[in-house]
Chain A
Amino acid sequence: MTAASVACGPSASARRAAAEPAAIALDDASFGWHGRAVLEHVSGRFAPGSLTAVAGPNGAGKSTLLKGIMGVLRPWSGAVRIGGAGRAGLSWLPQACELDRAFPVTVLDLVAMGAWRRVGAWRRYGRDELDRCMAVLEQVGLAHLAGRGADTLSGGQMQRALFARMLVQDAPVLLLDEPFAAVDSHTAQRLMSLLRRLHEEGRTVVAVMHDLDMIREDFPQCVLLSGRVVAWGDTAGVLTEANLKTARHWHAEAWA
């Protein structure tokens, strides 16, 4: 068995995902930080097995939407419903700036943190978990840095390490917050093809994206946000000139 097939061949959880797909539904949900509303009245559904991009200007509430789905942020009003295994079936790639880069761990330790739901605070990291971590590091091209301190990674390498950590979670739903920030276009293409494979295995993928060309090329579904939902549906129908103009207009109003 090759290293790649250990982590990316349809694993047990991916097969489960295909058998009993999990949908994420938001029902008039509103979110905010420190008393200021960031994202209001979101209603919509991420279909099981869909590949959706979340687009919008800075401060439009893209990260907030993912945090709301992850349960890190509770909705002020409305509801977020997670089908299937519930939140245990979600994996998360947060933005790199949210972790303490100076904390002394090896790259392998950082990636192994993805197994938290299976290993937890006290159980032993078995051979299979470590093999999975190494296989995933191989996929993102960081296997040779496994023993290095995570604080020595460049921005792009850190992004790949976080990507690897999400793969270790091996969940049927993947939520990614700007997965291609700080990586060069070659690496972005490589990670994107990994993402496509995960989607083809039947997993649900939701990614916050900046690059509209990449969204048009790779994501069949798209949500356009600007404090509210501007449009949600097929990418071609969402990323129209009119919708993008509306998003910019609402954004300018909110920050005026």
Chain B
Amino acid sequence: MSLYEWAVSPFADYGFMRRALAGTCALALGGAPLGVFLVLRRMSLMGDAMSHAILPGVAAGFLAAGLSLGAMMLGGVVTGLAVALLAALVARMTPLREDASFAAFYLISLGLGVLLVSLRGSNMDLLHVLFGTVLGLDDAALLLVTGTASLTLLVLAALYRLLAAECLDPGFLRACGGRGAWVHMGFLVLVVVNLVAGFQVLGTLMVVGMMMLPAAAARFWAVSAARQAPLAAAIGVAASVAGLLASYHYNVPASPAIILAAGACYVCSIAAGPQGGLLRARRGAPARFRRGE
């Protein structure tokens, strides 16, 4: 088998493979740069929590209107944002830290979501919602995920300086009249919308992997956020291609294969990345000891 037959033919010959590739690449291009900011803002776990939080909304949409994309989408956005707001409120009004209150809310959401889907749907439906249908994307799902990615990149470009300044020194930004809290909310909305758009592709449980794993890997290769973002997107695209090919040739489920491919990139980056990777760090002094003049 030539390289062409192995790597290109599956996509050239089968429409569902091309659709899967387009869907996962769009998800990577929009989601991975968001993930870079989630990592920089120390909100990695929050992304995870949000991905669970959208589940009951998606399930409620499914209960109300069957496998209707619009209803599931609306439900997901509503519950995702509701959990984000509730967790922030609880963190502000009680001694519980924000990460703990997020964990509490997303576990409740997960339980509620699985219960709701099982009420009406079959186990197959549950599996679709949880793990996605990357090899069975229809036009509507594909348009949704590509449209979301395009919009995300535009908004991210517009908000980039505000986001960076708000991460770096929120107090100073506020003192200069910058709208820090407003940007934070806008960013959360972007994360939720991307997770909801992506659940058809990789499922609510796995979609966050396409956000976090490439971003965490990129952190080991580039210093500035401006370089990490495109790098993360590229890693996400590479993982999509690799995962889909593995799924095709070895007959394994596609969405876990894609996430595992991204995970492999992450593990390699931990080992070999020039910015704090283990192998490089051993040769020279670790980055944190190279301070001072």
List A residues at the B interface (Cβ < 8 Å).
67, 70-72, 87-88, 90, 92, 94, 98-100, 103-106, 110, 113, 116-117, 120-122, 149, 152-154, 157, 165, 169
Contact = CB atoms under 8 A, between A and B. Distances in A.
B17 to A, nearest CB: 37
Contacts of B173: 113, 116
A13 to B, nearest CB: 15
A215 B22 CA distance: 66
Given A87-B177, A117-B177, A105 B168 contact: yes
Interface stretch (B111-119, B158-166, B190-198, B250-258): B158-166
A99 B165 CA distance: 10
A121 B169 contact: no
28 contacts: A72-B174, A87-B175, A88-B177, A90-B175, A94-B169, A94-B171, A94-B172, A98-B169, A98-B172, A99-B168, A99-B169, A99-B171, A99-B172, A103-B40, A104-B40, A104-B223, A104-B224, A104-B225, A110-B168, A113-B168, A113-B169, A116-B173, A120-B178, A121-B159, A121-B165, A154-B293, A157-B293, A169-B176
Nearest to A123: B161
Most buried by A among B164, B173, B176, B224: B176
B214 to A, nearest CB: 17
A94 to B, nearest CB: 6
Interface residues of B, number: 27
A87 B164 CA distance: 23
B284 interface: no
Per DSSP, are chain B's interface residues mostly helix, strand or loop, or mixed? helix
B175 A152 contact: no
B282 interface: no
Contacts of A92: 172, 175
Given A98-B169, A121-B162, A122-B158, A72 B293 contact: no
A117 B169 contact: no
Contacts of B165: 113, 116, 121
B158 A152 contact: no
A105 B167 CA distance: 11
A70 B176 CA distance: 9
Contacts of A90: 175
Nearest to A149: B223
A117 B171 CA distance: 14
A120 B173 CA distance: 10
Contact of A100 (B159, B169, B224): B169
B176 A116 contact: yes
Contacts of B40: 103-104
A154 B171 contact: no
